[in-house]
Every structure is written in structure tokens, then in C-alpha cells.
Amino acid sequence: MAAKERILLIDNEAGLCRMMEQILLDHGYLPRSYTSPQQAVEEFKASAWDLVISDIKMPGMSGLEVLQAIKAKQHDIPVIMITAYATVDMSIQALRKGAYDMLTKPFEPDELVYRVKNALQQRQLLEENRELRAELEDKFRFDNIIGACEGLKSVLERVDKVAVRDTSVLITGESGTGKELIAQAIHYNSPRREKRFVAINCGALPENLLESELFGYKKGAFTGATESRHGLLEAANGGTLFLDEVGNLPMNVQKTLLRFLQEKEFNRLGDTTPTRVNVRVLSATNSDLKEAIKRGEFREDLYYRLNVVNIHLPPLRERNCDIPLLAAHFISLQNQKFKTAIRGFEGEAMRLLSACEWPGNIRQLKNVVEACMAMETGEYISPETLAQFTEVDQWRSIVAREAEQINPGIPYSTALEQFEADLLKGLLKRHGGNIDLAAREAGMNMVTMYRKIKRYGIKKDGN
């Protein structure tokens, strides 16, 4: 059963307080009234109330003073002001000091309930927005980005430094390496985190739609423009605009974007009056923009405006040590989503995962993990299940070739054992001898980990 909203009533007229209390009680609220504004303010505690209703004209302490005092204790609580002498000036003063609404005496019970419902709904929306923002900020904290290899660490150090500086960043890397994730991490760790992060894929829209989507248009600018519309630049005002696949921008859009980056203003389609916004621009590409400049397909001056700082994401094939971590992360997400209990990959399956070059990078790995989990019937994903979604035989030959280059002529099974022993030693060293953490990263249970450590004669420190 949902908790009832608590409403604080402040009015020096005891009869009006009793009337409002009864109305609100009848509609399922929990009201409490004070006829002394001083006492109400003294006893007010943050988070004890969901809404305050106060008269403006009271002896000893005015409603505006009550409003200021309560807002100083809890700035986000909605306050409805009641007055018998509503004037424009008084209303403006109250709203400027933080009042949510004004209610004029005399009022009908239905009107009181209507205003109360609106104020509480607004409070609920603000609370949901705060929770969502906090969730996003937590999700995109640097320590929540999965990976332990040196290549990713250097990227995150660079991201950490650039996030707090309001400068343009160009993120480069192959498709599926997580460029938008890095852009979101920059935004949610920057001073702009309270405002919107707006993303657009520049290669997903035709040229005529892309320009109007970015910059907006004025009514009558073209056939079908029956009303004026804001573009994404205005939607991101105060926040961050992320241009994914920026290399696909048409030349005319590049020109308008360049002007915005230089002057911080632009013209909507069909409009002669410039529009100014305060937006940080982050961009990403999986293509070589320098080659595009040579071919005359991308403006050199725009390139240098976008590429004030460059962050290059390494492909997954250069982050092999992160594959077990990423796989475990995707398994955990799917388990939470579908209430399943897959514990990881079998040892050989994990070795095969780590041997793949992953041309689709992290996105491809995520899809393969999800597909395997949909088909697996055991606790651990087997090589046979993995074979349904990957070229396992090809990977087996890769592992065997690598082992043969190290120790030519040894049997495949021996090569696999050597590979496994070396992998476990590396995991134990990385986790400082913590067998539990090493087992999680390897996708093994603790019993199997201990058994293999004993089998290969490995010490806890990885030697």
C-alpha cells in the first residue's frame, strides 16, 4: 500500500485550518495544521513533509517569510500560497521566492484538492528525475566502465582530465568499441551533468532531415513546416550534444556547424534571426577524417574545431585481458534481466572467446553472450553452445597455432593445458592472489579454480 502524502497547513485562522484538514483527510492525505507561523517554521524538518500550504497575510510572520524559511531548510518542497488579496505584484514575489502555486480565498474544496494533486505530481516528477540522474551518473562513473588492460586505463585517465574542461572532444575507434559510452562518461562527470545529453547518429538520417533535426526550422521554411520547431542543439542547451559518425555530415551541414562552434550561434532553417545556445559538442567517428579531408569530403577547419582533444579507443582484439571481465558483466546483466542463473563460461569456452579477434568489438561480444545465454541449459556456457554463434573451430586452430609457435611439436591438449596454466597465473597475479576474484574473471567456480591450481602446481601469488 502506497504511503500517504504528508501536508503541512499554516494559517492563523483555526476554522480554515480545520476545514482544509477535513477535506484533505477525506481524499487520503495526512494533513497537520499550525495557526502560529513561527512555531511551524521552528518545528519544520526537511523530508518530514511532501507539501506545504501557507497563508500569505499572517500576524507576526508573513507567508513570504515562511516561504523563504522553509525553502532554506528544504529547497525542493512545493509550497502553495493562499491569499484573500491576490495581486499581480504579490504573485510575482511569491513565485520568485519559490512558491509552486497561488490559491485565492474563498476557494471550493475541489479546487484545493486539484491544486494539491498538481503540486504533488510535480514533486514526484522532480524526484523521479533526480533518481534517474543519480542512476545515470552512477552508471557512467569511470570505475563502472569495464576493463583492466593498460590501453583502457590510459583512455580513462584522459577522459577524467578532459571531462571537467568545457572543450570539444573527438572520439575515434572501430565500430562497437564503446564511443558513445565514453561520450556519456564525459558528460556525466562534467559540470554539465545536470543538463541533457543529446545524441544523434549523423549517418542514420538523409541530408535534408539531418539539417532540420540539428538546427530546427521556422514555420513555412519548407513544404510541410506547418509550425516552428527547435532542433537538437536547442534541446541540448546547457548540456552536451554528441555527434556520432560525424564523418557522414554533408558539406552544407558542416558549414553551419562550423559557424556554431566559432560564434556559438546558428540560424534555424528559414530564419534570419540567429539563435544562441550554450552547448558542449562531443563527436565520434570510425572513419579516417584526415583521408576524408584529402578527398574533399570533410572540412579541415571543422576537423580542428571538433578535434581539440582526441580520445582513441583500442579495438577489443588489443584488450584480450578484458574479455573475461566484459563477458562476466554481460552475463550478470542478463541474469538480472531474465532472472536466470548462468555462472559463466566453461574454461575452454572462455579460452576460445579470448582467442577471437572480434571484428564487431564489444557490441559483437555482448550479442554473442546474450545469444549463448538464451540457448544454454547448464550453469556454464559450453563450447558447444558457443559454437552455434561463433567460428569455434577457427579459434581452436588459432589457439593451437599460437601454442605451436611457442612450443612446436607439442600435442594440442598439452598446448591447451599450458595456455590454461599461464592464464590462471596471470589472473592470480593481477588480483594479488585473490582466488575468488580470479575465478570470477576466468568464469570458473571456486572448486574448479582450486582444483586447477593444485593440478598445475600454481601458488596463490601466481608463481
Residue with cell 559540470: 191
Q: Which residues contact 29 (CB under 8 A, 6 or more apart)?
A: 4, 5, 6, 7, 116
Per this entry, what is the length of the chain? 463
CB-CB contact of 385 with 346 (8 Å): no
Give pLDDT, residue 406: 47
CA count, 13 A, side-chain hemisphere, 237: 10
Quote the pTM value. Answer: 0.62
Give pLDDT, residue 143: 59
Q: What is the distance of C-alpha 230 from the center of its chain?
A: 23
Domains of the chain: 6-135 (3.40.50.2300), 141-314 (3.40.50.300), 318-456 (1.10.8.60)
CA count, 13 A, side-chain hemisphere, 7: 27
- In whole angstroms, what is the distance from residue 246 CA to residue 281 CA? 11
- Nearest CA to 395 out of 444, 443, 357 is that of 357
Residue with cell 544562441: 276
Q: Which residues contact 142 (CB under 8 A, 6 or more apart)?
A: 156, 159, 160, 185, 189
- Do strands 275-276 and 265-266 pair parallel, antiparallel, or not at all (unpaired)? antiparallel
Question: pLDDT digit of tens for each residue in the chain (463 aa)?
Answer: 456 899 999 999 999 999 999 999 999 999 999 999 999 999 999 889 999 999 988 998 998 999 999 999 998 899 999 988 766 677 778 888 889 888 888 889 999 999 999 999 888 877 776 666 666 556 556 656 787 788 888 888 899 999 999 999 999 999 999 999 999 999 999 999 889 999 999 988 887 788 888 998 888 777 777 788 888 999 999 999 999 999 999 999 999 999 999 999 998 888 888 999 999 999 999 999 999 999 999 999 999 999 999 999 999 988 888 888 899 889 998 999 999 999 999 888 888 888 888 889 999 999 999 999 999 988 999 988 988 888 655 545 555 545 445 455 555 556 667 777 877 887 788 777 888 777 777 767 677 777 788 888 887 766 6
- In whole angstroms, what is the distance from residue 103 CA to residue 175 CA? 56
Give pLDDT, residue 1: 40
CB-CB contact of 220 with 229 (8 Å): no
Residue with cell 528544504: 74
- Do strands 6-10 and 79-83 pair parallel, antiparallel, or not at all (unpaired)? unpaired
Percent helix, strand and coil across the chain, each to the nearest 5: 55, 15, 35
CB-CB contact of 33 with 82 (8 Å): no
**DSSP code of 217?**
B
Let me know the angle formed at the C-alpha of 236 by 198 and 246, rounded to the nearest 5 degrees: 50
Give pLDDT, residue 214: 92
